[in-house]
Amino acid sequence: MEIRNTICKLFNIKYPIIQAGMVWCSGWKLASAVSNAGGLGIIGAGSMYPEVLQMHIRKCRVATEKPFGVNIPLLYPNIQEIIDVVIEEDVKIVFSSAGNPATWTGILKETGITVVHVIANTKFALKAQEAGVDAIVAEGFEAGGHNGREETTTMCLIPIVKAAVNIPIIAAGGIASGKSMLAAFALGADAVQIGSAFAVAEESSAHPAFKNKIISSAEGDTKLAMKKLVPVRLLKNEFADAVAQAEAEGADRTQLIALLGKARAKLGMFEGDLENGELEIGQVSAMLQEIKPAKQILEEIWQDYRTGLKRFRDLHDETK
Amino acid sequence: MEIRNTICKLFNIKYPIIQAGMVWCSGWKLASAVSNAGGLGIIGAGSMYPEVLQMHIRKCRVATEKPFGVNIPLLYPNIQEIIDVVIEEDVKIVFSSAGNPATWTGILKETGITVVHVIANTKFALKAQEAGVDAIVAEGFEAGGHNGREETTTMCLIPIVKAAVNIPIIAAGGIASGKSMLAAFALGADAVQIGSAFAVAEESSAHPAFKNKIISSAEGDTKLAMKKLVPVRLLKNEFADAVAQAEAEGADRTQLIALLGKARAKLGMFEGDLENGELEIGQVSAMLQEIKPAKQILEEIWQDYRTGLKRFRDLHDETK
């Protein structure tokens, strides 16, 4: 059971399923596990110093012979050093996000790297296409972590972006099952990028307490916060409540920056402080019930997708 | 080409497509046009005095022999009178929204009315099921008009609610094409409820200036506002900007109620004041390009759905 779609060909992978690069979750262990299972694993450079990223790339290469990528938030302070590491270490696939794709795409493409840029609105989808990226990730409002200001949901974003660009689209936000993967394909996506479901994988470097909080969370337990800075979706806790309170009272950027402080995401996601940390996760956390190996997560999604596809084939034939 | 799904059987309609009851848009003209075309048309009682509703029901019955329904926001001030009209006029289908389904479902069901309740979270999905409704509309964050506080998107809400209840689910929010209808079915919905796309139908009683603003709007042009009162999705304009400004500065409920004033929705949607009015519409407004007859809207969605279904049948067979 193999599918040869555009994105599978672009990355030379078996399944059109990409594991999102996530701060404090997706190091070499998770990325290599996903790649070994037939998806595309991605090392999230956003929480790594350049030398730490270098170590993760090297360990990933030892752990898998399959293709893998690196996600680089372009607003990263040492961005030049991170780009240098990626080029020196001969990384073949880069997913860039949170910044202007015009700045780095050309440089990466010149060295032969396949480049994908993450967008949350049509304007940046067009900018990314113009910059020459090979594909885009279109990420909806329901996604965990940093998010778009327009709040466009996956259901609306995918068809709107599809109508605007002519490069392949990887849907992200709200996707954690084969059913939602099939929905993304119905909307016009060529592949899916999955974050939250892999954040709770056994191989994720997230703190066990954070993983347990994710799998015990319910619908309505996440919130888009910090809209006056960079919007971020996180689990509600003492920190998120304090932010919500400050925002309701009209806190400005300076006050929010002070409230955020430093290393909040590390504190919550990596060190397991569930009340004072920033716990970035998507709305689909409500659907996650179990900590499982990445391979099992990927294969269950694929089987669920195939079941849905078969149901649709039967529905088509029934209603001719 | 006919489908005999659960919702089609429940309402005795041809297509599992329901036109949302919408204030200032869906009177007898729109409802009867949708019902005549094979969907379920719904008269939106939310903007009607009881005697106006009575007139619309009577005219709708003259205009169509097919089933149609009435949408009743349960927080309506003269709710008892509205319920009386619906029962006296022998309406067969009621969609209730914005309130507790426990209060009225039993009374409506006793008179033989099929009852559907609109929910935006799991808690109310379970309450509605317990109250004995025949189906629920699960409406995501991207939907126009009044909306849930949890901000759960259609992509996440449908599978989560599907796992919680055992009654049929009608998906709403972000659906304006056959592609998004197919996506909703992939997620587990039995039918779709479509608002925005029918708000711009020729038969919609919305002001032509409002319809033109909808079809010329782009991605990012709507916003969820008034979260401290009842959250509502609307097009950005002078009024919406004033609300956003007040909210950013920490305006409380009293200040927002004063800013809202009276009859803002009527002013914008029915009278065509595009800057001072409240223009309720969904994120899919960005996908709407044209004012068309309801029949054409419905048939294009159905054909697009069938095309998607065929594409999936081929994809299934190719990748066996």
Q: Is residue B292 part of a domain?
A: no
**Is A179 in Cβ contact with B183 (below 8 Å)?**
no
CB A40 within 8 A of CB A20: no
B38 has a chain A CB within 8 A of its CB: no
Residues B217 and B202 grouped into a single domain: no
Residues B196 and B57 grouped into a single domain: yes
Which pLDDT value is given to residue B1? 44
Substitution target from A149, A153, A190 for chain B, most B beta carbons within 10 A: A153
Class of residue A138 by CB neighbours under 10 A (exposed 0-12, middle 13-18, buried 19+) = buried
Residues A97 and A200 grouped into a single domain: yes
Least confident of B64-68, B75-79, B185-189: B75-79
pLDDT in tens, A9-41: 999 999 999 999 999 999 999 999 999 999 999
Q: What is the CATH number of the domain that holds A180?
A: 3.20.20.70
Q: How far is A87 from chain B (nearest CA, A)?
A: 36
Q: Is the pLDDT of residue B267 over 80?
A: yes
Q: How many domains does chain A have?
A: 2
Q: Is the pTM of this model over 0.90?
A: yes
pLDDT in tens, B118-174: 999 999 999 999 999 999 999 999 999 999 999 999 999 999 999 999 999 999 999
Whole-number Å distance between alpha carbons of B217 and B288: 8
Residues A37 and A104 grouped into a single domain: yes
> Using CA of residue B270, residue B232, residue B141, residue B21, what is the dihedral sign?
negative
Q: Is residue A318 part of a domain?
A: no
A121 has a chain B CB within 8 A of its CB: yes
pLDDT above 90 as % of chain A: 94
Residues B169 and B185 grouped into a single domain: yes
Chain center to CA of A136:
12
Q: Is residue A300 part of a domain?
A: no
**Is B1 in Cβ contact with A320 (below 8 Å)?**
yes
Q: Is residue A301 part of a domain?
A: no
Residues A166 and A247 grouped into a single domain: no
A98 has a chain B CB within 8 A of its CB: no
> Using CA of residue A265, residue A267, residue A271, residue A274, what is the dihedral sign?
negative
Taking alpha carbons only, the member of A202, A171, A210 closest to residue A295 is: A202
Q: Is the pLDDT of residue B2 over 80?
A: no
Residues B83 and B220 grouped into a single domain: no
Residues B182 and B251 grouped into a single domain: no
The domain boundary residue, chosen from A146, A174, A206: A206
B179 has a chain A CB within 8 A of its CB: yes
Q: In what order do the strands lie in the sheet with B191-194?
A: B17-19, B191-194, B169-172, B135-139, B114-119, B93-97, B68-73, B41-44
Domain extent for B52? 6-206
Which pLDDT value is given to residue B52? 98
Task: Give the residues of chain A that fall short of pLDDT 70.
Answer: 1-3, 320
Q: How far is B227 from chain A (nearest CA, A)?
A: 10
User: What is the residue-averaged pLDDT of chain A?
Assistant: 96
Which pLDDT value is given to residue B3? 56
> How distant, in Å, are the alpha carbons of A189, B142, B196, B205 from that of B209?
34, 23, 15, 11
The domain boundary residue, chosen from A206, A233, A254: A206
The domain boundary residue, chosen from B206, B228, B251: B206
Substitution target from A2, A127, A149, A156 for chain B, most B beta carbons within 10 A: A156
Residues A74 and A140 grouped into a single domain: yes
In this structure, which amino acid lies at residue B67?
Answer: P
B163 has a chain A CB within 8 A of its CB: yes
Residues A44 and A130 grouped into a single domain: yes
Q: Is residue A153 part of a domain?
A: yes
* Kind of pairing between the strands at B17-19 and A68-73: unpaired
Q: Is residue B108 part of a domain?
A: yes
Mean pLDDT for B66-91 is 95
**Is A150 in Cβ contact with B141 (below 8 Å)?**
no
